[in-house]
Structure 1
Amino acid sequence: MSPISVEELYIFHRIDREVFFRLVIRLARNPAESLLVIAFWLWLESTKYPKFMSKLVGLSDPLINAFASEAVTGLRYLEMENDEIQERDGGLSLTTILMQKEISLHFFRQKRFTIIVGIKYVLNNICARIFTDILQYLLGSANTSTSKFSYPSHCRPLVVPGFPHPLFGTFTIPPKNFEELDLLDPRIWVKMNPYDCVTDDDKTMFLTFSRGFPVTKDEVWHLFTRMYGDCIKFLSMGDGNIKDQVLFATMVLNNIEIVDQILKGKHVAKFRLNGKHIWARNLIAQEFIDARA
């Protein structure tokens, strides 16, 4: 099979690239925020809103700007606790009209960690590869010609101001040549499920127990499998013993959707088992809380 050029990759993603170009160049929107917006839209397209980008690209710049602002509003809801969101807050009216399928702001709290993980995947596996030349041009890299967009064979690491993000982590483009990009990797040529590459860290719940109320591994396993079915991939009881009582555990779930089912829009969930309290939080939630502190 003959080598695949970066130009062919760009052609394959020409619609995504045009929308991003219009956001950051013609509309002069913030690059980091625009990357998150595009990643969210591509995630939407890969789930249950097919051809979203194709419909979006045919709109005027002012309308695309309005759609981007609406997406930013939704993304901010990912940072909110359940009780900060009011029923009257409504939904994404423009997105609903375009797709003829309702999407409410409550969708962002109900699918908080599913969305976060999906956006992280799209950012680092799609956006980092298909927007490199635009970002190099925009951020004024000395290695990029201002006459046209091109992917430089060797360049300094590109850091986009606004990253690392407290929810979505880092986004950098290292100095890679064409071979290091692994353009034969089929994942960059197809609209794959963004959860195929979810790490165990993303699916890990940290459990803590009250002193004086010992909890066993069997009790924890029974509690969560009774409520959420066959959901546990791995469960490890901690070694922080006080008088033979384990005070914490780590639980890796089978899929990211269970994290949202457990937390229900909050950063911490509380359970009661045989008179004992169990608190559960996710790694992403803990990192976000630490960043806000």
Structure 2
Amino acid sequence: MAVLSVRDVLAFHKLDRGMYDKLVALGTTPEVSRNVVALFMWLELIGVDVIVYIRSNPDHYILLRLAAEAESILDCIRHDTPPSDGADSSLAIPLTASLVNEPLNLRFFYCHRDVAVRGITQILDGVGTLIFDDYLHALLAEYEAEAQAAEADARGRAKAVFPMLPRELARPYLPRVSPTPEDSRSMFITFSKGFPLNREDIVEYFTEKWGDCVERVMMEKTTTSAAMPTYGRIVFTSESFIGLVLNGKQLVKFTIKGRQLWARKYEQRKNPI
């Protein structure tokens, strides 16, 4: 089997990158745009031809409608409770639902949220590392512009002199085999004063929602046995879980067994947890 180069992968996913660029240009944050496009790509894998429909209907309005429905799906798989009967009809995602013959609604995504999240994170951790890499796309655009200019100059000549493909684009595409550094896969968490959570509760909460996604949980080291921790750190198995949890927000709140947990992206401190 021939080994694909980075350029080959970028060329194959040009439409996916185009959707991302268009969403960002229309005011959607890069984080949300990445999640939306990755969801589109996962929907294609399960037979919901969102990208095919967008290709056939290259209109800003269509893309924005489907992106809004994608955000509703992403919000649904983050929630702790299933959609109510009133919101659980295909009317919540009418355009997406119209692309399949079988009934499709938000409850479907809620019931299969672990599968959805696993599929989305695999895309983000795989080809997504290339699709959403601004540097690689800038290199590709520069190379293609130079190649087109060389081809135009060569018309009427015996031989065209094309630019050399940058090594970053020529290298083989190899899926990531090792996790990113722990800090980039971590969320800093705090608890309401006097209402801490234990490690087991936190792991159980995220595992029930999204499957085996937590590598470990660390808690504040207290000075006495009576003192309760006020903060901690969750290390996920993949950095992509952070993007799905936060979805472009600085701070999010979870309610676990009636107690509040606040989470944000972890930043290295002098005295890290």
Give the TM-score normalised by structure 1: 0.48
- In structure 2, distance between residues paired with 1:185 and 1:240: 46
1:281 aligned residue (234, 258, 262): 262
Aligned residues: percent identity?
A: 12
Which residue of the partner structure matches residue 145 of structure 2?
145
Q: 2:67 aligns with which of 68, 72, 76?
A: 72
Q: Note the C-alpha offset of 1:22.
A: 8.6
Correspondence list, 1:173-252, <5 A: 178-181=166-169, 183-187=171-175, 201-202=184-185, 204=187, 206-208=189-191, 210-211=193-194, 220-224=198-202, 228=207, 233-239=215-221, 244-252=227-235
Q: 1:4 to 1:236 in 2, by over 3 A?
A: closer
State the match for 2:255 in structure 1.
Answer: 270
Q: 1:132 to 1:253 in 2, by over 3 A?
A: closer
Report Cα offsets for 1:227-269 as digits up to 9, x if no partner.
Answer: 657965323221365874432222335579999xx99xx9322
Q: Structure 1 residues 271 and 52 mapped into 2: Cα distance closer, same or farther (>3 Å)?
A: closer
1:61 counterpart = 2:58: yes
Structure 1 gaps of 5+ residues are: 151-176, 288-293
Q: Relative to structure 1, is the Cα distance of residues 199 and 106 closer, same or farther in structure 2, using a 3 angstrom cutoff?
A: farther
Q: What's 2:160 paired with?
A: none
CA apart distance, 1:184: 1.1
- Aligned residue type for 2:168: E
User: Take 1:23 and 1:223, find their aligned partners in 2: how far apart are those partners?
Assistant: 36
Give the Cα separation in 1 of the matches to 2:105 and 2:24: 24
Structure 1 residue 225: deviation in Å? 5.7
Which residue of 1 is the match for residue 156 of structure 2? none
Task: Name the aligned partner's letter for residue 14 of structure 2.
Answer: R
**Does the C-alpha gap of structure 1 residues 268 and 149 become closer, same or farther in structure 2, counting only changes over 3 Å?**
farther
C-alpha contact (below 8 Å) 1:92/1:105 kept by paired residues: no
For 1:45, give the aligned amino acid: E
- Please give the residue correspondences for 1:34-113 in structure 2 after superposition, counting only pairs within 5 Å: 36=34, 38-46=37-45, 48-49=46-47, 52-53=50-51, 55-56=52-53, 59-62=56-59, 65-77=60-72, 87-88=86-87, 90-101=91-102, 102-104=104-106, 107=109
Counting matched residue pairs gives: 226
Q: 1: CA distance between counterparts of 2:98 and 2:6? A: 35
TM-score for the superposition, normalised by structure 2: 0.51
2-structure distance, mates of 1:270, 1:117: 23
Q: CA deviation at 1:42?
A: 2.0
- Structure 2 counterpart SS, 1:125: helix
Amino acid at match of 1:59: S
SS at the partner of 2:175? helix
Unaligned runs of 5+ in 2: 151-164, 268-273
> Which residue of the partner structure matches residue 126 of structure 1?
131
* Whole-angstrom CA distance in 2 between matches of 1:133 and 1:40: 24
Letter in 1 for 2:64: S
Q: Which residue of 2 aligns with 1:173?
A: none
The equivalent of 1:291 in structure 2 is: none
Q: Distance in 2 between matches of 1:185 and 1:19?
A: 17
